Amino acid sequence: MAGRNFLFVPGPTNVPDRVQRAMVISQEDHRSPDFPKITRQITLGLKRVFRADNGIPFVFPSSGTGCWEAALTNTLSPGDRVLAARFGQFSHLWIDMCQRLGLKVDIVDCEWGTGVPLDIYRDKLETDAEHAIKAVLVCHNETATGVTSDVAGVRRVLDNANHPALLFVDCVSSLASIDLRFDEWGIDMAVSGSQKGLMLPAGLGILCASMKALESRHTARLRRSYFDLDTMFASNNTGYYPYTPALSLLYGLVESLKMIDEEGLDNIFRRHHYLAAGVRAAVQQGWKLELCAKSPEWYSDTVSAIMVPEGVNGADVIARAYNRYNLSLGAGLSRMAGKLFRIGHLGDMNEVHLMAAIAGAEMAMLDCGIRVEPGSGVAAASEYWRNQALF
């Protein structure tokens, strides 16, 4: 098909040309005397992105899922209780992993389209006088439904209850896109991946661990080998990796971290909010459709999940967009299959770029019989963006 594919799934995201070029390298000796320079640059850059002066970042050749496992297995023992809310496919999968690893999960099932219920977390933690709950899980940005949860609120709940449980945060689709403060929010394990806000291909699992979380590796009895933080920590301390690192991706990461520093994290968060608000204007004011996220407190600045009207299959809209317009939209996952399509608006993105998703989704919806007003999404987004001061 002529023309480029427009990629608007919420990860993998578009890789900037600069980062692409940085990854075209001759392979080199990862045990050379020069190699520690790269490791050091990455560690310092990730500390800035996590806002973690006190946290230790780790990079695994894996995806985000691998770091879910690293976070759990390095801190917990079989039968340990963890508290987790389930409100979308990714919060579900993390819980599923906990159960498969032999942890006991206090699952708080919530309506999909909402996020972590602070009041229920508060009740559970306040009544856990024995401190049987060892870890609290938060999926910061549920990519399946376009919902962002209040991590700082969970930290407050833990502190008010005087509860020592570790705070684990999945920031796979929020890191470097939505405000996240590792130190300030007392996060113990933050799990992410390379293919979203970091603007790289998939292939790196990114983790940040607090000293408290790292300490618990001495008592944690879950089995681990490849993801053993002890081994990684010892090797990283000398500037190396315990096994062959994904060199090209590491060079890409150095470049993307430079880009993040140049733009500035706060500006990046503001840009993501501004772009997301334009998409929401297209959906709600232009198309008169609903988001999966139930109310503004849950709106995600990295992905919008757009409900299709009854009687229409969201998968048809996605197929039409792809086959006819070379536009990749995100699918409805699990119980949302067929009910929605998603526009990812994270990473290397601007207004005009994002207009391609809005215009293309609009054409695909019209082709599938959804009676939106032609041009209304583009008009509403343009109206919003033109009237905003630049971020």
Residues forming the site for ligand PLP (CB under 6 A): 11, 63-65, 90, 139, 141, 143, 170, 172-173, 193, 202
For ligand PLP, the closer of residues 186 and 193 by Cβ is 193
Query: 270 vs 70, 146, 274, CA distance in Å?
Result: 31, 17, 6
Query: How far is 286 from 374, CA to CA, in rounded Å?
Result: 9
CB closer to ligand PLP out of 75 and 173: 173
Closest contact distance (angstroms) between CB of 63 and ligand PLP is: 3
DSSP state of 211: H
For ligand PLP, the closer of residues 198 and 368 by Cβ is 198
Distance between CA atoms of residues 259 and 94, nearest Å: 30
Amino acid at 60: F
Quickly count: other Cβ atoms within 10 Å of residue 237's Cβ: 12
Tell me: cis bond preceding 296? Omega within 30 of 0 counts.
no
Q: How many CA atoms lie within 13 A of 281 on its CB side?
A: 22
| Shortest distance in whole angstroms from residue 94 CB to ligand PLP | 7
Q: How many other CB atoms are found less than 10 A from the CB of residue 177?
A: 31
Cβ–Cβ under 8 Å, residues 124 and 163: no
Q: How far is the CB of 243 from ligand PLP (least distance, A)?
A: 19
For ligand PLP, give the closer residue by CB, 19 or 372. 19
Residue 140 or 155: the one with the smaller Cβ distance to ligand PLP is: 140
Nearer Cβ to ligand PLP (170/188) = 170
Distance CA 365, CA 314 (A): 9
Residue nearest to ligand PLP (CB): 64
Task: Please say whether the beta carbons of 77 and 221 come within 8 A.
Answer: yes
Nearer to ligand PLP, 45 or 64 (CB): 64
Instruction: Name the 3-class secondary structure at 338.
Output: coil
Go through 141-172 and write b for each residue having 16 or more CB atoms within 10 A of its CB, e for each that does not: bbbbbbbbbbbebbbebbeebebebbbbbbbb
Q: Is 74 helix (H, G, I), strand (E, B) or coil?
A: coil
CA-angle at 259, arms to 24 and 390, nearest 5°? 140
Asked if residue 187 lies in contact with residue 177, where contact means CB atoms within 8 angstroms, the answer is no
Query: Is the preceding omega at residue 16 within 30 degrees of 0, hence cis?
Result: no
Burial class (CB in 10 A: 0-12, 13-18, 19+), 345: buried
CB of 195 or CB of 236, closer to ligand PLP: 195
CB of 145 to ligand PLP, least distance (A): 10
Token pair recorded at residue 151 = 């991590």
Instruction: Select 143 or 304, whichever has its Cβ closest to ligand PLP.
Output: 143
Which DSSP string do the residues of 250-287 spell out, in sequence order? HHHHHHHHHHHHHH-HHHHHHHHHHHHHHHHIIIIIIS
Q: How far is the CB of 314 from ligand PLP (least distance, A)?
A: 18
Smallest distance from ligand PLP to CB 189, Å: 13
In the complex, least distance from residue 18 CB atom to ligand PLP, rounded to whole angstroms: 22
Min CB(293)–ligand PLP separation in Å? 14
Q: What is the smallest separation between the CB atom of 188 and ligand PLP, expressed in angstroms?
A: 17
Nearer to ligand PLP, 167 or 370 (CB): 167
Instruction: Give me the least distance between CB of 198 and ligand PLP, in Å please.
Output: 11
